[in-house]
Chains A and B, each alone.
Chain A
């Protein structure tokens, strides 16, 4: 068993089976690097994850610990890409399983919890969780207006009116489809 600690003060700790916790690539790599130390006794602090989020993460990894590992596809080399973090392991399609549908904090009141979960999944490198979370958000904003998306994602329109007009002109043809 491995202990994980949230970033709260005082930290809240969760005890998770090693197999489950290794769904997080970040933690898996860390445990491998610390081979030889008695990790059962050393809580792992997670500075980016608060207690409610960590609780969700723990629930998810415990549920999915026996999942078959995702099939590793050969990476598509993107030779003209300048971003190093382009992670192009492309699944043909992401389907959110039934259990996960119920699991995801999908109420509008829990929206920020969902974003925190995405952030944690990203930080902990739990790709399947990130996939379904992002897929959920994408489904949610799919077909919605720009204003709705801004509101839903708590994003601020930081364009100047001039920039906005210019952009509008540039992609005006994208609308009305």
Chain B
């Protein structure tokens, strides 16, 4: 009986649909507004064209409109979703900076790899318009600067499946009081294929429950991790990051990798030992692989611990002693420098482990502020005016650029840079 009713309903729906279509067609005949001639052949209808011309049209549209065009019909939506990956991407390198200098206002600035500001948008109220990123292949950095720049509403939009973002560097340098763990995690999952460095530098209001090994783990393999909250004048809050994150960082493979953490009381000396063991194992030259003896660049892995309750030089030395003293492949130095008054454990200490065969160093440092080299400064456009003196070669190289380009809307900046998929190879 129920089946019959369902069938009846289905048929009724079908009749209604046909009825509507018929009315529609009659209206068109009456008003004659449909191009003067009725379609007598499916192929005359744009909607019946194969996907390819449709995709082609979409490729020529401004990025913003592509997002809106999803409203047109299911077909459009489907094609847009399908081809958003292969859509030509504008600007293969560059930075996107989110800032919220005034409450309720978000500024998005896109700065290309020559430090030229391509576009800036001010978004007020609750509207977060990021659609210009749709076609961006951000293989540079995403910088969440001043204010509530990385609030959930921003991260949620950036995490949308159909946006293509491939940042190598993500920096949270603003206020995370309106950022939830779920949104942050989803965002890190989204950027996982490309991200290499993740910095929380002088970040305000990191909630106790925001960061965890699981959340950081969502970003996959990292070559650099910095967790350095802002704690001017106040007690450093405990950050719930432990040995698991640390151990995962041993997989980093970069000319200058780093892990700088502050206030992570779940990191233990035995965790550091596990890290060192893993690092030594990894750094041991593979058989048959020759390292050039005249290699000039010293490769450095730097671990810094700042106010991590369970990590003291003495405890680490005790836990890793034999590893640090192993004379065969490691040279060990212990450097004690002048103590900083007022610091817990009051001592700046660093251990250095050298792997001579690969010319790689591991530094383990305590109570030392993060190496400035690892702090990512907010990308800022280089200001230059065409009438001004040429100060240096850098400016000189770019004086042929259209000076108006800075102010141009992105939509006019319709370059068709090839997509850089290199990052996918080492997933």
* Contacts A150-B72, A155-B72, A155-B75; A112 near B127 (Cβ below 8 A): no
A77 to B420, CA, bound (A): 9
- Is A34 part of the contact surface with B, judged by Cβ < 8 Å? no
Tell me if A15 counts as interface (CB < 8 A to partner B): no
| B331 at the A interface (CB under 8 A) | no
With both beta carbons as reference points, the residue of chain A lying nearest to B416 in the complex is identified as A90
Mark contacts of B40-52 with chain A using CB atoms, 8 A cut-off: 1 yes-contact digit, 0 otherwise.
0101111101111
Q: Say yes or no: is B295 at the interface (Cβ < 8 Å to chain A).
A: no
Report the nearest A residue to B34, measured CB to CB.
A154
A83 touches B83 (CB 8 A): yes
Select which of A92, A135, A138, A164 is within 8 A of B416 by beta carbon.
Answer: A92
Chain A residues whose CB sits within 8 angstroms of the CB of B41 once the complex forms: 50
In the complex, are the beta carbons of B61 and A138 less than 8 A apart?
Answer: yes
Interface centre among A78, A91, A171 (most CB of B within 10 A): A171
Decide if A28 is an interface residue (CB 8 Å cutoff): no
Q: Is B390 an interface residue (CB 8 A)?
A: no
Q: Quick check: is B368 within 8 A (CB to CB) of the other chain?
A: no
Contact A76 B67 (CB under 8 A): no
Question: Which segment, of A16-24, A35-43, A55-63, A115-123, faces chain B?
Answer: A115-123
- 8 A Cβ contacts from B62-104 to A: 62, 64-65, 67-77, 82-83, 85-86, 88
Report if B157 contacts A (CB, 8 A): yes
Q: Are A153 and B47 in contact (CB under 8 A)?
A: yes
Q: Which residues of A contact B77 (CB under 8 A)?
A: 167
- Whether a CB of chain B sits under 8 angstroms from the CB of A149 is yes
Q: Is A66 an interface residue (CB 8 A)?
A: no
Q: A130 to B415: give the CA distance in the assembly, Å.
A: 19
Residues of B within 8 A of A86 (CB): 83, 86
Are the C-beta atoms of A173 and B129 separated by less than 8 Å? yes
For B, the interface residue count at a CB cutoff of 8 angstroms equals 58
Are B421 and A175 in contact (CB-based, < 8 A)?
no
Query: B72, A157: Cβ atoms under 8 Å?
Result: yes
Cross-interface CB contact of A76 among B58, B72, B421, cutoff 8 Å: B421
Q: How far is the CB of A31 from chain B (nearest CB, A)?
A: 23
Contact-size category for A:
35 or more
- Interface pair A78/B71, CB less than 8 Å apart: no
Interface residues of A in 139-166 (CB under 8 A from B): 139, 141-143, 146, 149-150, 153-159, 164
Query: A56-107: which residues lie under 8 A (CB-CB) from chain B?
Result: 76-81, 83, 85-88, 90-94
Q: CA of A20 to CA of B57 in the docked complex: distance in angstroms?
A: 25
> Are B35 and A88 neighbours in the complex by a CB distance under 8 Å?
no
Q: Is the Cβ of A122 less than 8 Å from the Cβ of B127? A: no
At the interface, yes or no: A48 with Cβ under 8 Å from chain B? yes
Min CB–CB distance A127 → chain B (angstroms): 9
User: Could you tell me if B415 and A92 are in contact, using CB atoms closer than 8 angstroms?
Assistant: yes
* A67 vs B176: C-alpha distance when bound (angstroms): 58
Interface: B132 (CB within 8 A): yes
Decide: A115 near B415, CB < 8 A? Known: A81-B85, A173-B129, A174-B131.
no
Is the beta-carbon distance between B127 and A176 smaller than 8 angstroms?
yes
Contacts of B121 in A (CB 8 A): 177
Distance in angstroms from B393 CB to nearest chain A CB is 26
- The residue in chain A whose Cβ has the minimal distance to the Cβ of B75 is A155
In the docked arrangement, what's the CA distance between A106 and B52, Å? 21
Contact A153 B72 (CB under 8 A): yes
* B332 is an interface residue with CB less than 8 A from chain A: no
Closest chain-A Cβ to B87's Cβ sits at a distance in Å of 10
Task: Contacts A112-B45, A167-B70 known; list 10 others, CB within 8 Å.
Answer: A50-B41, A76-B421, A138-B61, A153-B72, A154-B34, A167-B71, A171-B71, A172-B127, A173-B157, A176-B127
A-B contact pairs, 24 of them (CB 8 A): A78-B419, A79-B425, A80-B85, A80-B421, A86-B83, A90-B88, A93-B416, A109-B36, A115-B43, A116-B43, A119-B50, A122-B52, A138-B57, A138-B58, A143-B65, A146-B68, A149-B72, A154-B34, A155-B76, A158-B74, A159-B73, A167-B71, A174-B67, A175-B129
User: Which residues of B are in contact with A by a Cβ distance under 8 Å?
Assistant: 34-37, 39, 41, 43-47, 49-53, 56-62, 64-65, 67-77, 82-83, 85-86, 88, 121, 127-132, 157, 160, 414-416, 418-419, 421, 424-425
Q: Which 8 A-B pairs have the closest CB atoms?
A: A138-B60, A134-B56, A174-B131, A174-B67, A153-B46, A112-B44, A86-B86, A146-B71
Q: Residues of A with Cβ closer than 8 Å to B?
A: 48, 50, 76-81, 83, 85-88, 90-94, 108-112, 115-116, 118-119, 121-122, 130-131, 133-135, 137-139, 141-143, 146, 149-150, 153-159, 164, 167-168, 170-177
